[in-house]
Structure 1
């Protein structure tokens, strides 16, 4: 535990600490320190406003999620671009905008809700917060590099993957499972078999058993959903190289 004296400290030291906190993506601490600096000495703040706000980088996109934080999305989007483990995106460098299409607790958990909101939307990211079990909660999901259409066929993809994340802001333990059988990557079903592979992740069946992807993503084959979110995945045009 680190003890900080935010009453008798030097304002410049606060700015330096604010910079370090932002680089470590300690969002709660950054917000608290910004508020404290403002309340501490309004005259000093007004004179140094540019210095204060230049220490904190502003993300390009607003993340609307009850499941993921910016560190999670930076990691997942690094997987989309096949980044090496040593070169994953920092949260403020993430070139992808995740636009919320469906939230289970808001829009419903039914296949019909998914059809209405998520079909024909281009590449999508599905994220599930599982219910508590002996092994605790987990975040699982999958990336579909093409559209869900309800064709009742398996569709080819070399870029799709499924994953799991430990639901712990202090941990980076994760499982990335890329497609092996590319022709069976996406179960583009119109009903309860919507998902990835031949059951590697069936969203509405609540099942995940290794079939066509590299690894299983849970230590059991069944799960229940506390929350479901589906995002349209859009890459920032500014990051694309135009010849």
Structure 2
């Protein structure tokens, strides 16, 4: 059996850093008053960093008195201390580090070609410094767009901006955004912002790029001269073709774009005028609408997750574009707000139509849920206290007389009431279908398939199966990697949704929610969505899904 003693090895190597005599490398980092020298062994640096290995092997470092010397003014002492500890021990502690220092660590990791560190730091920023990233998107983008190795963080920042662009475009740092980054954003179909707002922000950005336009007021263009408009036109030229002008209303076109008509190419401006005044569709210049944005008001999922769910509901590929305002996710229940009582859940869902259930699992943060395309019409044992039925003898009786539940069924043989499917008078089995005469089996007629488990008085269901081919359950994993999302569709539509007064129930085992806990046991759906059968609920939300 092989044994590994990495912990002790790290401790012993760490002690080498404190040995002031045993070194052959001096690395001076920082600049001005913020500098520091670090001592190290060349053989350790070569083993841990391709950068140092190449520097030593290709004699690209100065050497005097058998001591190699590196000077790195672009790396701060606090950042290099993290690197040298990692090099010697494999330990990196970022818990008390500022977001700026962690970002600088990422840059230094790229310089030293430390792939393991590059991958880890990006993941750490995304998972543990979300708020700092959102408040510093411009700074972060300017940094990571310099390095191909930082694509994971690039993509995260761009996707986050596209999901919720207003804070980014309204930030005081937006006008300093580099040209190529802004151009990349405007090219994206998933940038979820009204086109007229993008136009206004583009004008703001264009003005900020030219000192001669500073102080120019877009609400008073009478003070602009031809030279001012020409300067703005030249600045915005690469961006104009990526604005969806034909998705802008006539009112906004007249008030917000017409005043800047000299900024637009003549042919494009004429096409826009013809479109708004005559309804003529342009032959060229028209881009497809950007993908829609779902305002889910969710604490669990983001708009990109809602897009996936909407595509699943429509049986489309998860990457399919969805036009703006085509579908809505309207919040009708949230556990932390409304409580986790099952009766509250049912009352919030009653009569709402198609609903999406979303759950964050307490144990591991996994996001799971289900889609019910039917009405969740629950009745607590169908307590229709005022429901009366006439039996065959014409006697008007209360629904619960003689323990008769509210199904309105009387015996055609003798006029008695059915109790548990049999007449309480003559004993005949009366569980036949009023539609075709067949017998009910598990709530469904064995002949025509109709669901007979509903209340004739109030329309509620009596703990019965609801039939649909469109329901599904799903997992979004932790919500961060869209490659890990998973859908499990119903495979036996007769057992899709179990209408119960004690739980929210998919398949009567595949996904069951009762209060603040749940279970997952694959049965009537394609596959299991969790590795465990039982789980606790951190947060739960239910949305009404409808056409826009």
Specify the TM-score bucket, using the shorter chain as the normaliser.
0.7 to 0.9
Q: CA deviation at 1:187?
A: 1.2
User: What is the alpha-carbon distance in structure 1 between the residues aligned to residue 177 and residue 299 of structure 2?
Assistant: 37
1:164 equivalent in alignment to 2:332: no
> Residues 86-235 of structure 1 correspond to what in structure 2 (within 5 A)?
88-90=319-321, 93=324, 95-132=326-363, 136-150=364-378, 151=461, 152-192=463-503, 194-204=504-514, 205-235=517-547
Q: CA deviation at 1:197?
A: 0.3
User: What is the alpha-carbon distance in structure 2 between the residues aligned to residue 25 and residue 182 of structure 1?
Assistant: 38
Q: 2:205 aligns with which of 37, 50, 65?
A: 37
SS in 1 for 2:348: helix
Contact 2:192–2:293 (CA under 8 A) maintained in structure 1: no
Structural RMSD (CA): 3.6
Contact 1:165–1:172 (CA under 8 A) maintained in structure 2: no
Matching residue of 1:64: 297
Matching residue of 1:77: 310
Q: CA deviation at 1:58?
A: 8.0
Q: CA deviation at 1:25?
A: 5.0
Q: CA deviation at 1:191?
A: 1.3
Segment of structure 1 superposing worse, 88-97 or 107-116? 88-97
Report the number of matched residues.
Answer: 223
Matching residue of 1:240: none
SS in 2 for 1:211: coil
Contact 2:291–2:321 (CA under 8 A) maintained in structure 1: no
Segment of structure 1 superposing worse, 106-115 or 155-164? 106-115
Residue 200 and residue 37 in structure 1: after superposition, are their counterparts in 2 closer, same or farther (change >3 A)? same
Q: CA deviation at 1:156?
A: 0.5
Contact 1:177–1:214 (CA under 8 A) maintained in structure 2: yes
Contact 2:294–2:303 (CA under 8 A) maintained in structure 1: no
Residue 206 and residue 19 in structure 1: after superposition, are their counterparts in 2 closer, same or farther (change >3 A)? same
> TM-score, length-normalised on structure 1?
0.77
Contact 1:129–1:226 (CA under 8 A) maintained in structure 2: yes
User: What is the alpha-carbon distance in structure 2 between the residues aligned to residue 8 and residue 131 of structure 1?
Assistant: 39
User: What is the alpha-carbon distance in structure 1 between the residues aligned to residue 299 and residue 322 of structure 2?
Assistant: 17
Structure 2 unaligned regions, length at least 5: 1-143, 147-153, 155-173, 219-228, 246-288, 379-460
User: What is the alpha-carbon distance in structure 2 between the residues aligned to residue 9 and residue 227 of structure 1?
Assistant: 39
> TM-score, length-normalised on structure 2?
0.36
- Which structure has more helix as a fraction of its residues? 2
SS in 2 for 1:216: coil
Residues 73-111 of structure 1: CA deviation (Å, up to 9, x unaligned): 1111111111145xx433655732011000111111110
Contact 1:162–1:178 (CA under 8 A) maintained in structure 2: yes
Q: RCO (CA 8 Å, sep 6+): is it higher in 1 or 2? A: 1
Structure 1 unaligned regions, length at least 5: 237-243
1:2 equivalent in alignment to 2:145: yes
